[in-house]
Structure 1
Amino acid sequence: MERRSFLRGAAVGGTAAAFGGALMQGAAYAAPAQPGTGPYGALRAADANGIQLPSGFTSRVVARSRQRVGTTAYTWHDAPDGGACFADGSGWIYVSNSEVSPNGGAGALRFSATGAITGAYRILSGTRTNCAGGRTPWNTWLSCEEVSRGYVYETDPWGVKAAVRHPAMGLFKHEAAAADPVRRVVYLTEDESDGCFYRFTPATWGDLSTGVLQVLVAGSGTSGSFRWQDVPDPDGSPTATRNQVSGAKRFNGGEGCHYADDTVWFTTKGDNRVWRLDLAAGSYELAYDDSLVPSGAAPLTGVDNVTGSSSGDLYIAEDGGTMEICLITPDDTVAPFLRITGQSGSEITGPAFSPDGRRLYFSSQRGTSGSSSGGITYEVTGPFRA
C-alpha cells in the first residue's frame, strides 16, 4: 500500500502523521528514514525574527513570556511547551503548556478567521512542570506533568470549564498523550531514561475519570511484536508504574506522541529515535534513528514534540540539536523545515497546525535569553502541501 494514500485524509487536528511502510503480520520491516531534499527546498537566510524558512514562508511572533499578548490584558506564561490547535467557529485556538514549577499550567491564544489575535487567557493553574500533552476527539486538552508521580489534567481550551485531574491515567513522569478513537484509548509517553509506553482505556469513551492503565510489553529489540498488560497500581507508590510489570519494554526518554490510521508514533529523546506501532498488526519498528544515518549527516537530533499534517508529513521539533523543526515525508525522507538562529540555549516546543493546515504554531521555550522567562511563541504561514 502506498503510504501517502494510506494516511491522506486524516484530520490535521487529529494528528495526521505518516512515514514507514504499512506492515502486515510477518512482513519485512521498513527501513528507517534517511536524509534527503525536503518538499519545500533549501532554507533561506534568517528573517527579522531569526528564523530560516523555505521560499514562500513567513514568520511572526504571537506571544512572548511575561509580556501582554497583543492588545489583551493577558500576560503570556514562562517556558511555553506542548501545544495544540482547536477550531473555534471560523477561527481557532492555540493552547500552550508552561513547563515551570510551581504554577506551571497552560494558557491559550484565540485567533479570528484572518489570523488576528482576539483573546488570550489561562486554562490551567496550580500544576507543576506541564510539558507536553494531547488533544482529545471531544475537544479538550490533556496537559501532562513531567514530574515523578505527575498527573494528567483535562482542560477546556475555551477556559470556561474547570480543569479536571485524572489519577486513573497513572502517576508517573508524563510527557505526551495521543487519543485513538478507533480503539477508544489514550496512549501515553514517559520521560524517564528507562521509561515505558502506556495506554489508558476509559470505562466510558469521553470520560477519563475511570478506566484501565496498561503498559506495552515487548522484547529488547528495535522491531517485533507487542502486547498490553495491566498496570496493577496506577498510583505508582511505593513501586513506580514502569517497574510493576515484568517484560515492560523500556524507552529512553519518551517525548512526543501522535496517532493516525491504526498507527501511533512516538519519539525518544535519549537515543534520538522515532518509533512506529502498527496497531492492527501488533508490531513495532524504528521509523528514524540518527545512529543509522551516515556520520555527521543526521538532520534531526534531540527529537521532541511532534505534530502531523494532512499531507502525511510528520513535523518533529528539536530540543537542542540545531534548533530545527524537521519533517519526515511519506517516502521516508528526513529534512529540515525551519531553523531558529541565535537561540542555542533553548528548545523548540509545541508544534501544531491551525485547523485549515495553513499556519504552524510553535515556541522557543527559552528564546534568546536562555531563561524560562524568555519564551517566544511563533506562527509560520506559507504554502504547506495538502
Structure 2
Amino acid sequence: MATDVNRRTFVAGTAGAAATAYALGGPITAFAAKTKQDKKRPKAAGYGPLRPTPEQDSGKVYLQLPVGFKYRLINRAGAPMRNGLPTPGIFDGMGAYAGPGGTTVLIRNHENRSRTGEVTVPVPTGKRYDPDVAVRGGNTKLVVSKDRRLESVFPVLGGTHTNCAGGETPWGTWITCEEIFNYGSAENNVAPGTGVPHGYCFEIDAAANGPVTPQPILDAGRFSHEAVAWLKGSLYETEDRGDACFYRFIPEREPKEAGDLATFGGTLWALAVKGRPNLNGNTANPGETYPVEWVRIEEPNPLDDTVRKEAQSKGAMVFDRTEGIWTAGNSVYFDCTTGGDARLGQLWQYTPKGQWGGELKLIYESTDLQDLENPDNLVIVPDTGDVFLQEDSSNEQYVRGVTKNGLIYDFAKAVLNTTEFCGGCFSPDGKTFFLNQQGDRLALGETETSQPDSKAGLTFAIWGGFDGRDEKAL
C-alpha cells in the first residue's frame, strides 16, 4: 500500500470468533513448524485443481477456481451508482455485514491518492471531510441480494485520502484507515490550501443509507494507518512503513455505536519488548516469544509525522510494514508484508496478559517465494477453519488456503484482470466469499467508464462447497 505497484491490503474477515480461534490454533502454527523443518513444504489437495471458470452472467473467464465453485461479478468501477454517477475505482479493504431481508452489506474502501484522473467518491459538500476537491478517497456501500446480485451501491464517506484497509467492530461499524500523513492533496507535510490534516481513522455505520458525517478518531493517532482490529476494550492498529510500530488505542469508555470512538477520548500506546528496547522484528526467529509492555504516546495527533518517532524514542519495537490484522479468541494476529531476512513476510501473534502485559510471538516467516510471497489480507473460512491468504504478487495473483495441519493450496487465480486481490471477506452466513481486484489507476485520457474489465476495479461474489475441502497432502 506504500506504492502503486506493490500494495498490500487487509480487511478483517467476518467469520465467527469460534471458527477463527479454531483455525488459528492450528494452521498457522503448524505451517510455521513445517516450513521451519522442511525447506520444501508439501501442498494440500484443497478443493482440487484450478480450472478456467466462466462468470455466471457474462461467460467471461475472470478467475480460475476449483470444480464446484461459481462466481458473479457484482460491481465494477465505472458502473452507475444509485445517484447515477460512476462507481469510483481503486477498490481496497472491505467488510461484510448482515443487512435487512437477508441481504449482505459490504462497506468498501477506495484508495484514491489525489492522482490526476481519479474518480472521486462523491458526497455533498457539507458531508466531505476535506473540501479540497483533489482529495477523492472514501467509501461506498454495496447491498447484495440473497441470490448474490447487486441491489444498490452508493457513497457513504468522502473527502478522505488513501483509504486503504480498516476493520470491523462488534457494534456493526467499519473503521476505514487513511494510509497517509499529509494536508489535503499535498505530497509533503506542508499545509497548502485548506490545510486539513490527514492520517486518521474514520468510523462508518454499516446501516447508513447515505453519506455519514466524517469524524476523525483523533486520539487513536495520526500516522500512516493500515488496518485495525478490536479486542477486549482496545483498538489495535498497524502502520504501513518500513520502520513501523504496533499500536493500541484504549478509549475512555466502551463504545456501543458509531461515533463513540471519536467522542469518548482515550490514550494511544506502542508495543515494546521488555528489556530489549527497539528490538527489530526482522531479527526474530519463528517460534520465539517475547514479553511485552506498552509505552504511552503523549502526542498522538502531531503536526508532523512523529508518532512512531516518539514511540521508538521510548523503546518501541520496530517492524517492517505492519499491515493486515485480525482477532481470534484472546489474541491479535498481524503480518509484516516485507518482514524477515528474505523480506517475504512474517506473521505475529500478540496475546494480552492483563491490561498492560502480554506475549508477542513470531509464528511464521517466509523464506521462499514458492511458499509465501508478501502476505497481506487473511480471511478465515468458516466451514473449515482454513486461512485464505491473499498475496499481492508482482507476478500472478492467487488466493491461497492453509489447512489446520499446515498444508497450503491454491483456491483462486486471476485470469482476465491481473491487478491485486484485496478486500476478501465472508458473508455473515459464511457461504459467500466476497473478493475485490483493485484495478489499475487511470491512464492518460482514460475514464472509469471506458476502462476495460481487464484493468477496472472488480468485486466478485464466490460460492460453492467451502466445507468440501480435502486436507490430504499431495
Calculate the TM-score normalised by the size of structure 1. Answer: 0.86
Structure 2 residue 146 is the aligned partner of structure 1 residue 146: no
Secondary structure in 1 matching 2:324: strand
Seen in structure 2, the aligned counterparts of structure 1 residues 277 and 41 have a Cα distance that, compared at 3 Å, is farther
User: Hey, what does 2:378 align to over in structure 1?
Assistant: 306
Q: Distance in 2 between matches of 1:170 and 1:368?
A: 29
Q: Distance in 2 between matches of 1:11 and 1:99?
A: 21
Secondary structure in 2 matching 1:179: strand
User: Hey, what does 1:190 align to over in structure 2?
Assistant: 239
Secondary structure in 1 matching 2:79: coil
* Runs (5+) with no aligned partner, structure 2: 1-12, 36-40, 55-59, 114-134, 182-197, 274-278, 449-455, 469-474
Q: Distance in 1 between matches of 2:161 and 2:447?
A: 14
User: Hey, what does 2:43 align to over in structure 1?
Assistant: 36
8 Å Cα contact 1:46/1:341 also seen in 2: no
8 Å Cα contact 2:96/2:104 also seen in 1: yes
Seen in structure 2, the aligned counterparts of structure 1 residues 77 and 158 have a Cα distance that, compared at 3 Å, is farther
Seen in structure 2, the aligned counterparts of structure 1 residues 287 and 341 have a Cα distance that, compared at 3 Å, is farther
Structure 2 residue 365 is the aligned partner of structure 1 residue 289: yes
User: Hey, what does 2:24 align to over in structure 1?
Assistant: 19
Count matched residues.
Answer: 365
Structure 2 residue 327 is the aligned partner of structure 1 residue 233: no
8 Å Cα contact 2:163/2:177 also seen in 1: yes
C-alpha displacement at 1:46, in angstroms? 4.7
8 Å Cα contact 1:123/1:157 also seen in 2: no
Seen in structure 2, the aligned counterparts of structure 1 residues 189 and 369 have a Cα distance that, compared at 3 Å, is same
User: Hey, what does 2:461 align to over in structure 1?
Assistant: 379
User: Hey, what does 1:4 align to over in structure 2?
Assistant: none
Calculate the TM-score normalised by the size of structure 2. Answer: 0.71
Secondary structure in 1 matching 2:219: helix
Measured against aligned partners, the alpha-carbon deviations of 1:125-159 in whole angstroms (never above 9, x if no partner) come to: 00000000001111011000000251100012233
8 Å Cα contact 1:224/1:285 also seen in 2: yes
Higher strand share: 1
Q: Distance in 2 between matches of 1:42 and 1:372?
A: 37
302-311 vs 362-371, which moves further: 362-371
Secondary structure in 2 matching 1:282: strand
CA RMSD of aligned residues (A): 2.9
8 Å Cα contact 2:251/2:266 also seen in 1: yes
User: Hey, what does 2:159 align to over in structure 1?
Assistant: 126
Larger Rg, first or second structure (1 or 2): 2
8 Å Cα contact 2:74/2:148 also seen in 1: no
Q: Distance in 2 between matches of 1:229 and 1:155?
A: 29
80-89 vs 233-242, which moves further: 233-242
C-alpha displacement at 1:243, in angstroms? 1.4
Q: What amino acid is the match of 1:381?
A: W
Seen in structure 2, the aligned counterparts of structure 1 residues 255 and 240 have a Cα distance that, compared at 3 Å, is same
User: Hey, what does 2:57 align to over in structure 1?
Assistant: none
Secondary structure in 2 matching 1:256: strand
Q: What amino acid is the match of 1:224?
A: T
Structure 2 residue 249 is the aligned partner of structure 1 residue 200: yes
* 1:243 counterpart (309, 312, 332): 309
Q: Distance in 2 between matches of 1:217 and 1:335?
A: 35
8 Å Cα contact 1:57/1:382 also seen in 2: yes
C-alpha displacement at 1:78, in angstroms? 0.9
Structure 2 residue 404 is the aligned partner of structure 1 residue 330: yes
Percent identity between matched residues is 30
User: Hey, what does 1:224 align to over in structure 2?
Assistant: 289
C-alpha displacement at 1:35, in angstroms? 4.9
